[in-house]
Amino acid sequence: MGKYLPTEPYRGTRDFLPEEMSVRQQVFQRLYEVIEVFGYQRYDGPVLELTEIYEAKSSREIVEQQLYTLTDRGGRRLALRPEMTPSVARIIAGNLGRLTFPVRWYSHPNCFRYERPQRGRVREHWQINVDLFGSSSSAVEVEFIELIHAMMAGLGATEDMYVLRMSDRVLLDAIFTEILEVEDEQRRQVAGLLDRWEKYPEDKLRADAEEIGLSESRFARLREVVQAGEEILPELSEQARAGSKLIEVMNSRARDRIKVDPLIVRGFDYYTSTVFEVFDASPQNRRSLFGGGRYDNLVGLYSAQAVPGFGFGMGDVTLMDFLSTHGLLPEPANKVDAVVIPTAEALFEPARTAAAQLRAAGVRTTTPLESAKLGKEIGRADKAGARAVVIIGEQDHAEGMATVRDLVSGEQERVALPDVANAVRKLL
C-alpha cells in the first residue's frame, strides 16, 4: 500500500467544516450589517502585493520575520498580504480622480503571516478592515468609537465585556521628549518596551531597559508614566497637547466610551496620531482583540496628494476566542429546510419537480439520490436539521397530493402538490 498524502492542513492554517462556516457566516454577517449601516462600502484587492509596500511602513517584525515572499518569473519580489492597510492606501492613491471624499470602505481579506501558531495567532487569518479616507477632523475618531461599540453590540457584547483603550503617537512622542528625555535613536525601542509592559514581569522589563541603554532613573520615570495613565497629560506642553487628536476626543461626547492609556503603542510605522486597541475584560481571555488608528501619510507613498486616513483590522481568531469566552457564539444554522422523499423509484421525477417548486419559494431543499426505506430517509432528514419532509407516495402522486410532515411536532397533513411550498413555509 502506497503512502497517503497528509490530511492535516499546513501548520497555522485551518479547515472549516460546514457547521463552523455557519457560525462564522452568522458572526460576519452581523458585522457587515452594522458597518454598512454606518455608510461603509465593501471593496477588495489582490492577495499578492509588491514586497516593497510593506517594507516602506509596516512593522519590522512583519517585514523581517513574518512575510511569505516569492519572486515571480519577471524577477519581481512579491508577498502574500500580511495586512490590508498598505493595499487600501495603494488603491485609494490609484483612483484619486474617481473618488469623492470622505471615502468609507471596508473589506474582509484573508492575510498571511509566518508566526508561531498559538492561542490567538495562526498563519492565515481573516480580518475585517474598516477605513475612512479624506478627513483630519477628530470627528473621524468619534465616529469610529461609535462604530466599534455598535459592532460589539451587534455581536451581543455589553460594554463591561471589553475595553476600548486609546492613545496618541503625538502625545507619546511628547512624553519621550519632554518627560523621559529619550534620545531619538532609542524611541522605537522604548516604544517596544511600553508595548510589552503588561506581558512581562518588572525584572524582565528592567533588564530590557538596561539593554537598550535606559538608565535606572529613566526606567523608574517610565514606570511612573505608565501608572499615571492619562494623569500624565497635564504635564505635557500646550504645543504637544494642541497637536493631539486624542485631546479633542477627550473633549467630545465619546470621552466616556474610551480609556486613555499611554501603553497603547501599536507596532506599525504608518500610524501618525491616535491609536487604539480593544481588550477583552474577562480574566480568562485578557488580551488585545483588535486595534488600529490614524495614518495621515500612508497614501503619500503612492501619490503627491495628501489623503489622511483612519482605520482598523478585526481578526477572526481573537474575535472568535472573545465570543467563545463570553458565550456569544451563535448555534450552527440548519443545513436544509426540507427533504422531498419519493417512496418508489418511479416517483423520483415528481419528487424533483416538487423540490424545484420549494427552492423557487426560497426553501432549502434536497432529495435522495438513491432509493432507500422511508424511515431511513426521514432519519437522514432529521439529522440534517430539516424542519419538514415532503413524502411523495404512489397514491399521493396519483391524486396530485403530497404528505408534509413536521419533524419537530411529528404532525403531518396531506396537501395538494401546488400548495406544498406554502405548507412547508408555514412550518419554517
Q: Is 4 annotated as a binding residue?
A: no
Whole-prediction pTM value? Answer: 0.89
Q: For residue 345, say whether it is annotated as part of any ligand binding site.
A: no
Query: What does the pLDDT read at residue 370?
Result: 92
84 marked among binding-site residues: yes
Burial of residue 320 (number of CB atoms within 10 Å: 0-12, 13-18, 19+): middle
Query: Rounded to an integer, what distance in angstroms lies between the CA atom of residue 125 and that of residue 121?
Result: 8
Residue with cell 410532515: 405
Q: Show pLDDT as tens, one digit a residue, over the chain (428 residues).
A: 568 999 999 999 999 999 999 999 999 999 999 999 999 999 999 999 999 999 887 777 788 889 999 999 999 999 999 999 999 999 999 999 999 999 999 999 999 999 888 887 899 999 999 999 999 999 999 999 999 999 999 999 999 999 999 999 999 888 888 888 888 778 888 888 888 888 888 889 899 888 888 888 888 888 888 888 888 888 899 988 888 899 999 989 899 999 998 778 887 678 889 999 999 999 999 889 999 999 998 899 899 998 999 999 999 999 999 999 999 999 998 889 999 999 999 999 999 999 999 999 999 999 999 989 999 999 999 999 999 999 999 998 999 999 999 999 999 999 999 999 999 999 99
**18-325: CATH architecture:** 2-Layer Sandwich (3.30)
* Site of grid cell 509566518: 114
Q: Residue 239 annotated as binding? A: no
Q: CATH 3.40.50.800 region(s) of the chain?
A: 338-427
131 annotated to a ligand binding site: yes
Domain 338-427 coded CATH 3.40.50.800: yes
What is the three-class DSSP state of 319? helix
Written as one letter, the residue type at 34 is V
| Residue 64 annotated as part of some ligand binding site | no
Any known ligand binding at 127?
yes
Using the CB atoms, write b or e for 302-313: b if 16+ within 10 Å: beeeebbbbbbb
Quickly list DSSP for 51-68. Answer: THHHHHHS-HHIIIII-E
43 is in an annotated binding site: no
State how beta strands 338-342 and 388-392 pair.
parallel
Q: Any known ligand binding at 248? A: no
Q: Where in the chain is the domain with CATH 3.30.930.10?
A: 18-325
Q: 3-class SS at 297?
A: coil
C-alpha cell at 70: 516569492
